[in-house]
């Protein structure tokens, strides 16, 4: 029992010694260490921002998918009673969830409330706006929506039909392109991170070449030689992850501010703004920090293991 305690205490002392040694190395070369942390931080920020952008655009894709509507404009020659009859007949269609009628007078009142258009509406000799029927599909797939669009255009009394499907398809195409871009950025960032930490491990092993060979001769194992490098990679990843999270939050704050300005300028619907801003908030900071620490430690482990094995074999 006593031997086991001594062994555990000795192992703990080794870890504490190597951890302090790694921290002291940062203190001895503060400028180089700071540059390394900043470079690793930037390689982490780009993929985290791209993933956030993908999530943000995904919210818009879901919004358009849930809010797709068709607007059927009734011929101006028809009365409101005729338009109401058309909307009631549309309600019987199994592919239609709701068919809400907006009369010509209601359309004119809504037009009058638009900033800058109220005076124009008062100067009109008569109401030129048609009644409209807002149709919500029961099943919001592209095939059903296209089928409904054709059916509405062929419905007697319907003049034209507008659909949100085109904008939905555009947003989906942007989302798919951004997904590919985010994947490429993430892969390149991870490759850059591996190259940086691998070079750091290679440099550190070359500095300690004679020391490592002596440790090997007196019976030291590879993991004893690797331990200082692993702690260095751990602390480097933790610091870079914390700074990356701070920069990530700051950039998202700037973007959210610009979205707010855009929203107020063009008077976008609140639901669109809320859905977009929802994913501009960052996830739990532990995710980015833990990921950065693990990637840095794992890359340091692989690099240290490979280069130290080469040194002790020569």
Q: pLDDT truncated to tens, each residue of the chain (314 aa)?
A: 333 333 444 667 777 877 787 778 778 778 888 888 888 888 888 888 888 777 777 766 666 666 677 888 888 888 888 888 888 888 888 888 888 888 888 877 777 776 665 566 566 667 777 888 888 888 777 677 778 888 888 888 888 888 766 666 677 777 788 888 888 988 888 888 888 888 888 888 888 888 778 877 887 777 778 888 888 889 988 999 889 888 888 887 777 666 666 555 544 444 444 444 444 444 556 788 888 888 888 888 888 888 888 877 76
Gap between the Cα atoms of 25 and 228, Å rounded: 10
Q: Look up residue 6 and give its two tokens.
A: 């001594």
Residues 6+ apart with CB under 8 A from 11: none
Provide the 10 A C-beta neighbour count for residue 242.
17
pLDDT of residue 266: 47
pLDDT of residue 6: 33
Nearest one of 136, 161, 157 to 74, comparing CA atoms: 157
Nearest one of 44, 64, 66 to 282, comparing CA atoms: 44
Residue 161's DSSP bridge partners are 72
The alpha-carbon radius of gyration of the chain (Å, integer) is 32
Q: Is the sign of the CA dihedral 169, 173, 174, 175 positive or negative?
A: positive
CATH class, 69-163 region: alpha beta
For residues 276 and 175, the answer to whether their CB atoms sit within 8 Å is: no
Gap between the Cα atoms of 219 and 209, Å rounded: 16
The beta-carbon contacts of 26-30 under 8 Å, at least 24 apart in sequence, are 26/232, 26/235
Nearest one of 273, 272, 280, 274 to 255, comparing CA atoms: 280
Q: Where are the domains of the chain?
A: 14-65+169-313, 69-163
Beta pairing, strands 96-102 & 132-137: antiparallel
pLDDT of residue 285: 62
Gap between the Cα atoms of 89 and 91, Å rounded: 5
pLDDT of residue 262: 55
pLDDT of residue 67: 65
For residues 112 and 121, the answer to whether their CB atoms sit within 8 Å is: yes
pLDDT of residue 128: 75
Gap between the Cα atoms of 111 and 117, Å rounded: 7
At 75, is the secondary structure helix, strand, or coil?
coil
Q: How distant, in Å, are the alpha carbons of 101, 143, 191, 263 from that of 116?
A: 25, 39, 54, 18
């Amino acid at each position: 029992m006593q031997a086991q305690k001594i062994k555990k205490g000795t192992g703990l002392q080794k870890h504490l010694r190597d951890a302090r040694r790694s921290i002291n190395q940062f203190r001895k070369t503060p400028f180089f260490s700071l540059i390394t942390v900043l470079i690793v931080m930037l390689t982490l920020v780009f993929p985290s921002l791209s993933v956030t952008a993908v999530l943000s655009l995904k919210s818009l894709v879901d919004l358009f998918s849930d809010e797709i509507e068709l607007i059927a404009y009734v011929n101006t020659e028809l009365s409101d009673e005729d338009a109401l009859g058309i909307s009631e007949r549309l309600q019987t269609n199994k592919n239609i969830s709701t068919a809400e009628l907006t009369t010509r007078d209601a359309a004119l009142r809504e037009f009058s409330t638009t900033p800058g258009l109220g005076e124009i509406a008062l100067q009109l000799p008569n109401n030129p706006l048609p009644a409209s029927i807002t149709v919500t599909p029961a099943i919001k797939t592209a095939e059903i929506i296209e089928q409904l669009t054709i059916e509405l255009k062929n419905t007697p009394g319907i003049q034209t039909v507008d659909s949100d499907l085109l904008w939905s398809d555009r947003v989906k195409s942007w989302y798919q392109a951004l997904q590919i871009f985010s994947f490429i950025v993430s892969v390149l960032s991870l490759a850059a991170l591996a190259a940086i930490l691998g070079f750091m491990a290679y440099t550190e092993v070359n500095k300690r070449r004679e020391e490592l060979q002596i440790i090997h001769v007196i019976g030291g194992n590879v993991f004893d030689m690797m331990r200082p490098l692993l702690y260095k990679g751990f602390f480097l990843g933790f610091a870079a992850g914390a700074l990356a999270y701070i920069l990530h939050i700051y950039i998202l704050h700037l973007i959210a501010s610009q979205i707010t300005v855009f929203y107020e300028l063009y008077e976008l619907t609140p639901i669109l703004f809320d859905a977009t801003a929802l994913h501009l908030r960052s996830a739990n900071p532990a995710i980015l920090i833990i990921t950065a620490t693990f990637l840095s430690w794992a890359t340091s482990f692989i690099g240290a293991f490979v280069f130290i094995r080469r040194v002790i074999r020569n």
